Chain A
Amino acid sequence: MSAAAIRSLALAVICLAMLVAPAVLGDFSVTLLNYVAIYTLVALGLVLLTGCGGLTSFGQAAFVGIGAYATAYLSTTLGLSPWLGLVAALVLTSVTALIIGVITLHLGGHYLPLSTIAWGMAIYLLFGNFDFLGRYGGISNIPPVSLFGYRLEHMTQVYYLVWIAVGAALLVASNLLRSRQGRAIRALRGGEVLAECLGINPFKIRLFVFVLAAALAGLAGWLYAHMQKFVSPAPFDLRAGIEYLLMAVLGGSGYVAGAVIGAAAVALSKNWLQDLLPYVTANSGNLEIVVFGALFILLLQHSRGGIVPLVLRYLPQAARAPAVPHAPSADRLPVRTMPTAGQQLLVLKGVSRSFGGLIAVNDVSFSVNAGELLALIGPNGAGKSTTFNLITGVIPPTSGTISYGGRDLTGASPRVALAAGIARTFQHVKLRPAMSVLENVMLGAYSRSSSGFLAGALRLDRAEEAIVRAAALRQIARVGLAEQASTAAGNLALGQQRLVEIARALVADPSMLMLDEPAAGLRSREKAALAELLKAVRDAGTAILLVEHDMDFVMRVANRIVVLDFGKKLAEGAPEAIRKNPAVQEAYLGGVA
């Protein structure tokens, strides 16, 4: 039986078990499962937000609260249908998240999670102080949800509602993560620079994930309110917020399944503690939170990845990494018209950049022509990587101008540079280690494809995905990694990771390829293969700008060489001339005496 068949079978068994569960289990267990479902929705939002997008939020409980209070107020005080309450819950949480997100999602580092504590506290405190929300007493007598006139009064009836919601949410989330925008979400953790250089607008993606996570929490709040038929501020405080985070981390915050497993683990162990602790101490209610805190600490100290990766480690390889489907490649992505060879492509005029008092790049001018391979060399610290960052717009120059194909790129963002046709690799490899080689390379095609969030979530993007996959596989084969396409990128040797970056850059169909030390970490035979590849790419019309330390390699592939030293251009010319230049020999090739 194939791995895919085993997966389908397992899924079918689980669904069947879930279907008959209420008939078999007692009321108490069904109630517990209902809570697991509600927790799962919130934890799923955190999986997307924290595990995939790298944004930690301690405030999700506040969104659950907004959803719960919105529907509670609508269905009691205003006497409206709970289904209107659902609309209100989703709209209100999304709008709140949108506002908070626009304000705070530009924050970097630990400022963002700190701000989630702040607004989480503030929203929670509001619940308890508004008269129309019943202050700390809350709102009671919330009606149950009715479906075709059938009131979902009992826990067994609510069971199907909540688990259908969970099933739908899980499906949408896993579809989304496998889509174009989902890859963008997962690329966020690689840092701002990577996202920008792939043509991704990190802020937009973050805002989307943030709102989505909030909406999931709002949905959970809606279900909670109509299941409990009562809301009060207490379940929406910071403590609940951290518990949701615990669920996501415990389950495995990088995995959709981690949400269910984490929610179940927390709910069940909480229940278990409630049964067990009264035997240990009279103050069992208090000890519960202590044990919980201690467990969370132990988890973070010893297994930060959570349960899912632990389980995956013991599954056979096939179940972990599905084989790469060989997609038809009849259709192609839109192709760029390459500039004619010899035409001036990239032009730097008097470009300087200083950091504080240090001048990293000092009045550098050079140009790259279409169809040539220009090597930028110089000792460590000569300003080569800074020059790269200036050209790709990662940092703006202090003075001077940069133009590309006649278009002014001075101070433009990396996304603009990519749109103009410049794709790059990084000196310190920026791959997403947990994603497969194929997915990493597919990220490179982000700017050439267009599927949106909705298309991804509903799998309306299959045609485009197939084309992108085919394009990515072609480039992977081109750099010689066809065998490793489904391997996690982090498991490759450093030299191979550099090749993956090259494939990722090539998939963007650049008119100029910028490579930062592509040969570092390669063995001599691999270097020879890389040299052939670069020549082939150049001959196909893509200009290459190369930073490299291996002189042999540079001499073998470069048409022209620019030498930098102390941020200044020391020399420029054909490889033979550079080799014989005494100033270059003194500065670069060593010789102190």
Chain B
Amino acid sequence: MNLDIAILLIEDGLASGAIYVLMALGFVLVFNVTRVIFVPFGDLVSYAALTLASFQLQRTPGTIWLLVTLAALAILLEVLRLYRIGQFARLPRALVVWGVLPLLPVACTLLLDGFALPSYVAIPLTFALILPIGPLLYRIVFQPIANAPVLVLLMVSVALHFAVSGLALMYFGPEGMRTTPLVQGAFDLFGIAISASLLLIVGVAAALSIALLLFFRLTLTGKALLATASNREGARLVGIRTATTSAAAFLVAGIIATVAGVLISPMTTIYYDTGLIVGLKGFVGSVAGGFVSYPLAALGGVIIGQVESFSSFYASAFKEAIVFAAVIPVILARWLWASNAHIEEHDEE
């Protein structure tokens, strides 16, 4: 290997690493607030990329049918819940939150159906279509079992991934799609060529990470999310609606997934199941942070990007296997560290 190739590999690793950083942060966020290891997170990346690609191909993205189905289920559950606690006065609000809001972008999509949409319309519309999915999934799938053990939530999460990715296959078909690049060209930095798209990816990932940090530090909603993560019982006792903060965590995860989807879709062809692999690698990064630490999760994401990039050079057939095998030592190190800090004592019933 010479220096040029090494630089190329590093740049490649940085680009994918930036995506994994975002995914890792999302996993940590959702897990901290809700204790859910959000396996379908990666599927949202696929949905975002394929939705944008559909717009560019002037097709109707299948995402709208997902939204319609989920909104209908969520409203059904809300009606049942309000009936049970005898609070029908709250029905209009529930209808707006779980019905009108998610269906608004669906209506827009149907209205614009068949038009060639410029990026500045297609991308925001993609965001509007993907964002409601996270909170809807939470409302339908996780909220009814919010107090279940982490393991049950994990199993549900894995099952949900199969349902969501199966639907993606139905909506988008087995063939891959690729979007047109958002930026083109390259820069020269100290004699090293850096493509504009690399700069965009790393820049957006950094900006989003910092925005997340500020959100937690400066806003009451952000603090309420941290509080829910820190002590769920305490949060409820001061009147923080944990169902709302949990849904908010899924919403933020949706933003992250959409950003990731929009950023990677010009880089590589996206299939309905590409997201899972992207997500799992981000997830490996978050494991490095023990699902608790944001900076360590981000570091993990960067490292995974490099490991992947270099192993694709040395043993390209085994690059995925290497990345996943790398999880085990990371988990071990993480666990040793955690168990030194305190004695674990968990009863699982």
Contacts and interface: CB of A to CB of B under 8 A. Distances in A.
So, do A and B actually touch in the complex, CB under 8 Å?
Answer: yes
Interface of A: 54, 56, 58, 103-104, 106-111, 113-115, 117-119, 121-122, 125-126, 129, 189-193, 238-239, 242, 245-246, 249, 281, 283, 286-290, 292-294, 296-297, 300-301, 304, 395, 430, 433
Given A56-B151, A104-B328, A296-B162, 4 more contacts: A286-B170, A290-B167, A297-B160, A297-B163
B169 A122 contact: no
A290 B162 contact: yes
A114 B166 contact: no
A107 B331 contact: yes
A300 B156 contact: yes
20 contacts: A56-B154, A58-B158, A104-B328, A106-B335, A109-B346, A110-B37, A111-B335, A118-B324, A119-B328, A126-B318, A189-B347, A242-B162, A281-B170, A283-B170, A289-B163, A294-B163, A297-B141, A301-B145, A304-B148, A433-B349
Contacts of A129: 317-318, 321
* Interface SS of chain A: helix
Given A118-B325, A118-B328, A125-B320, A287 B170 contact: yes
B152 A300 contact: yes
Interface residues of B, number: 47
Interface string B120-149: 000000000000000000000100110010
A119 B329 CA distance: 11
A304 B152 contact: yes
B170 A118 contact: no
B166 to A, nearest CB: 4
A230 B141 CA distance: 38
B4 interface: no
Interface string B320-339: 11101101100110110001
Contacts, number: 141
Contacts of B328: 103-104, 115, 118-119
A286 B162 CA distance: 10
B64 interface: no
B175 interface: no
B345 A300 contact: no
A106 B338 CA distance: 12
Contacts of B68: none
Contacts of A242: 155, 158-159, 162
Contacts of A294: 159, 163
Given A191-B345, A192-B345, A249-B155, A292 B332 contact: no
B150 interface: yes
A239 B318 CA distance: 20
A89 B156 CA distance: 31
CB-CB nearest 5 A-B residue pairs? A293-B163, A118-B327, A296-B159, A290-B166, A125-B321
Contacts of B37: 110, 114
A289 B166 contact: yes
B160 A108 contact: no
A320 to B, nearest CB: 20
Interface in B10-53: 37
B334 A246 contact: no
Contacts of B188: none
Contacts of A190: 347
Given A239-B162, A300-B145, A301-B145, A122 B170 contact: no
Contacts of B169: 283, 286
Contacts of B162: 239, 242, 289-290, 292-293, 296
Contacts of B178: none
B331 A118 contact: yes
A591 to B, nearest CB: 31
Contact of A108 (B166, B318, B346): B346
B170 A290 contact: yes
Contacts of A111: 287, 331, 334-335
B322 to A, nearest CB: 8
B325 A54 contact: no
B163 A115 contact: no
A494 to B, nearest CB: 15
Contacts of B287: 111, 114
Contacts of B345: 191-193
A384 B193 CA distance: 67
Contact of B324 (A106, A122, A245): A122
A56 B339 CA distance: 20
A246 to B, nearest CB: 7
Contact of B150 (A110, A126, A189, A238): A110
B155 A56 contact: yes
Contacts of A300: 145, 148, 152, 155-156, 159
B339 A108 contact: yes
Nearest to A432: B349
Given A297-B160, A297-B163, A301-B144, A113 B151 contact: yes
Contacts of B256: none
Nearest to A58: B158
A109 B150 contact: yes
Contacts of B156: 296-297, 300-301
Contacts of B155: 56, 242, 245, 249, 296, 300
B56 to A, nearest CB: 23
Contacts of B158: 58, 238, 242
Contacts of B262: none
Given A191-B347, A289-B166, A126 B332 contact: no
Contact of A246 (B159, B327, B347, B349): B159
A552 B161 CA distance: 58
B343 interface: yes
Contacts of B148: 300, 304
B341 to A, nearest CB: 10
B214 to A, nearest CB: 29
